[in-house]
Amino acid sequence: MDLSSAIEVDSIEEAHETMHRLGWTDGLPVVPPTPLLVESALEYLGRHPQEVIGEVPPKNRLATVEKVVVNSVMAGCIPEYIPVVIAALEGMLDDSFNLNGIQATTNCISPLAIVTGPVVDQLAFNARDNVFGGGSRANATVGRAIRLILWNIGGGYAGEIDRATLGHPGKYTYCIAENTADSPWGPIHEERGFATEVSCVTVFACEAPHHIATGSGYVLSGDDILAVLADSCATAGAATMNGGGQALLVLGPMTAQKLDSDGFGKDGIRQEIQRLACKPVKLMNSNKFLNPEHPFHWARMVDPADDDALIPMFRSPEDLLIIVAGGWGSGSGFNAVCHGWMQAGGLAQTRVIEWPGGKEPA
C-alpha cells in the first residue's frame, strides 16, 4: 500500500474498482480512505502519523499509525475503534506470537481478537448471541481492520505468501468480546495479570470454532459436562493434539454457571479437561501430520510403542484458555472450542488498550 500520493477518482464505483485493481482488498469491498476520514481518525488518536508501531511480517513493512488508520478506515472502523486495533497489532507483533509463521503456514488458523473490559459496553462489542457471527459493527470492523493490516502491510496474500490449504472464514474478520456480565468468573485479561477494570485485547491464532452441545440446561452433573467438553476438544487430527500449544474453550453462560454451581472454577476445569482430553497411542500413530523427530511431537511425552498409553492434548492445564461468551440459548448448553497452532506460535498475547489522553470512550 503506497500512501505517498493521493489517488483521484471520479466516482465511488471507480474508487472501489481502483482499490480492487491495486490489491488493497482480499475480495470484499472496502471503504475508500478519503483524506477527511483519515485525518479525522488521526486527529482523534493524537499520535504522529509516521510513528512506527512495528514491522508486520512476512513482508516486514512498517506499520505506521497512518497506515493502521488507513486500513482501519477501509474496514469501516470509527476512530474510537482504532485503539483496539492497535492493541491487537501490538500483541501479534510479540516474538512468541510468530506472526511470520501464522501468515505463511499451510494450517487453517487466523488471529482471533478477544475484547474484554469496559470497552465492550462502551463501544457496543457483541459478547452475547451470535458472538462469532454478524450484526455488530465493532466486532466486524475491528476484525476486518486486523485482516487488512495483515494483508496490505504484512503481505499475507492468499495463495502467495499465505499458503493455508483450506483457511477459514475468520480470514475475513475474527473478533469477539467476552460476556463478563453472565460469567461467574473474572475476565481473561485478569487471569493474565491485568487489572479487572482496564480494557484489553487478547489475540490468539486459532481455527474456526467447533460447536459443542453439552445439555447443561438439563439435570446433568459438572462431571458429565466436562467429559463431553474434553472429548470434543481431543481430536486425533487437531494440530494442538499432535504438537501441543493452546486451545480456546468458549463456554456459553449456561454451561459456565452450571459448572460453577457444581464447584468448578476455571482452574478446576482446566485440570479436569487436561486429565480427560486424551487419545491412545494406537490412534495417534495413524496420524502422520508430524514425524517423531519434530520438536513438538507427542512421542516426546509417551512411549510411541505402547498402544494403550494415553496422550494428553494439553501439555499443561494452562494451555487451555477459557472465556465465557455467547447467549443462553436452549437447554442444550452450547459452547465451542477453537484449536490453536501447536507450540509453533500464535500463543495468546494480551495488551491494554491505550486511549487518547488516557480517557476511555464515554
In the structure grid, which three cell numbers stand for residue 134, read together?
454478524
Q: pLDDT grade, residue 4 (50/70/90)?
A: low
The number of C-alpha atoms within 13 Å of 322 and in the hemisphere containing its C-beta is 26
Q: What is the pLDDT of residue 357?
A: 87
Q: Is pLDDT of 81 > 60?
A: yes
pLDDT tens string 153-183: 999 999 999 999 999 999 999 999 999 999 9
What distance lies between CA 136 and its chain's CA centroid? 16
| DSSP-derived pairing of the beta strands 61-64 and 110-116 | unpaired
CB 81 within 8 A of CB 73: no
Residue % of the chain over a pLDDT of 90: 94
Q: What is the pLDDT of residue 332?
A: 81
Q: How far is CA 32 from CA 13, 24, 109, 139, 250, in A?
A: 10, 10, 28, 20, 35
Q: pLDDT grade, residue 215 (50/70/90)?
A: confident
pLDDT tens string 256-300: 999 999 999 999 999 999 999 999 999 999 999 999 999 999 999
Q: How far is residue 99's CA from residue 110's CA, in Å, rounded to a whole number?
A: 10
For 351, other C-beta atoms within 10 Å of its C-beta total 21
Q: pLDDT grade, residue 331 (50/70/90)?
A: confident
Q: Is pLDDT of 3 > 80?
A: no
Q: Which amino acid is at 107?
A: N
For 161, other C-beta atoms within 10 Å of its C-beta total 15
pLDDT tens string 176-212: 999 999 999 999 999 999 999 999 999 999 999 999 9
The number of C-alpha atoms within 13 Å of 130 and in the hemisphere containing its C-beta is 6
Q: What is the pLDDT of residue 2?
A: 54
Q: pLDDT grade, residue 219 (50/70/90)?
A: confident
Q: Is pLDDT of 28 > 70?
A: yes
Q: How far is residue 93's CA from residue 105's CA, in Å, rounded to a whole number?
A: 16
Q: Quick one: DSSP state of residue 272?
A: H
Q: Is pLDDT of 72 > 80?
A: yes
Q: What is the pLDDT of residue 1?
A: 53
Among 167, 194, 54, which Cα is nearest to 110's? Answer: 167
Residues 6+ apart with CB under 8 A from 183: 253, 256, 324
Q: What is the pLDDT of residue 6?
A: 82
In the structure grid, which three cell numbers stand for residue 312, read together?
494428553
Whole-number average pLDDT of the chain = 95
Q: How far is residue 249's CA from residue 321's CA, in Å, rounded to a whole number?
A: 6
The arithmetic mean of pLDDT across residues 58-85, rounded, is 98
Q: Considering just the CA atoms, what is the radius of gyration of the chain in Å?
A: 21
Q: Which amino acid is at 196?
A: T
Q: Is pLDDT of 225 > 90?
A: yes
